Amino acid sequence: MTTTIREAAAGRAQQVRQRADRPSQRRGAERAGSRAATRATLTGVQLRAAGDGDTLEFTGHASVTETPYEMYDMFGPYNEVVSAGAFDATLKRVDLDVPLVLGHDQLRRIARTTNGTLDLSVDDDGLAVVARLDPADVDVAYIAPKLRAGLIDEMSFAFRIESGLWSPDYTEFRIDRVDLHRGDVAIVGWGANPHTDAGVRADRQPSSRARALLELAIAR
């Protein structure tokens, strides 16, 4: 029988020692062992040659803040929210190392903060991503036509929860601070929450808005 949010919250209230405890066995689907993942649809993707004729530009949001999405822990479903300031501290790291990858595969990196090809920032929507891509890279050549055709239209990111708090009724967990260092932002096939945008384009103008399905993937 499927557990409801209220039923899960009742069990959680009995077992969780304090509201600051992180979700145990956090995952993005009901089945045990599934990844802690949510999703982000990238509709309205554009792909154009950059002004220099040598690079492409990918823009979008890997996370949307202040918007609840459904997750699961050992007790069942709950709503999760990323606070607007959750990225502030991690983005200030001078040694921040985050790659843009395909499918969370660390061998399929197409941009990286440490070599100046990936910029991460926070705007009114959430975690904004701007990446300069090499069309000669085989992974860029692989993903570009799929983005153009709308065959691939979701993103996710991998991170660690550093601070968070359960609501008094244990139906919602708010993530107040994350660590992105040595995590990733990823272009993926499937994920799980409706709220970001992304695009691949040629310039630094604002990206096309997209209906979103955000994927937050906590670092394994």
Give 202 or 71, the one with higher predicted confidence: 71
Distance, in Å, from the CA atom of 121 to the CA atom of 207, rounded to the nearest integer, reads 14
* pLDDT score of 197: 45
Do the beta carbons of residue 71 and residue 214 sit within 8 Å? no
Mean pLDDT of 146-156: 82
Mind listing the pLDDT tens digit for each residue in 157-188?
Answer: 899 999 999 999 999 999 999 999 999 998 88
Q: What is the pLDDT of residues 73-117, one digit of tens each?
A: 999 999 999 999 999 999 999 999 999 999 889 999 999 999 999
d(CA 138, CA 143): 9
What percent helix, strand, coil does the chain show, rounded to 5?
15, 40, 45
Percent of the chain surpassing pLDDT 90: 53
Max mean pLDDT among 15-19, 155-159, 204-208 falls in 15-19
Structural domain of 129: 5-218
Please tell me the distance from the alpha carbon of residue 178 to that of residue 122, in angstroms, as a whole number: 13
Sequential DSSP letters for 147-173: HHHTS--EEEEEEEEEEEEE-TTSSEE
Half-sphere exposure of 5 (CA within 13 A, CB side): 12
Residue 99: the pLDDT is 98
Quick one: pLDDT at residue 184?
Answer: 94
Instruction: Please tell me whether residue 46 adopts helix, strand or coil conformation.
Output: coil
- Residue 33 pLDDT level (bands cut at 50, 70, 90): confident
Biggest CA-to-CA distance, the chain: 60
Tell me how many domains the chain contains: 1
Residues in the chain, overall count: 220
Residue 82, classed as helix, strand or coil, is strand
Distance CA 59, CA 202 (A): 10
Residue 52 is predicted with a pLDDT of: 62
Q: pTM of the prediction?
A: 0.80
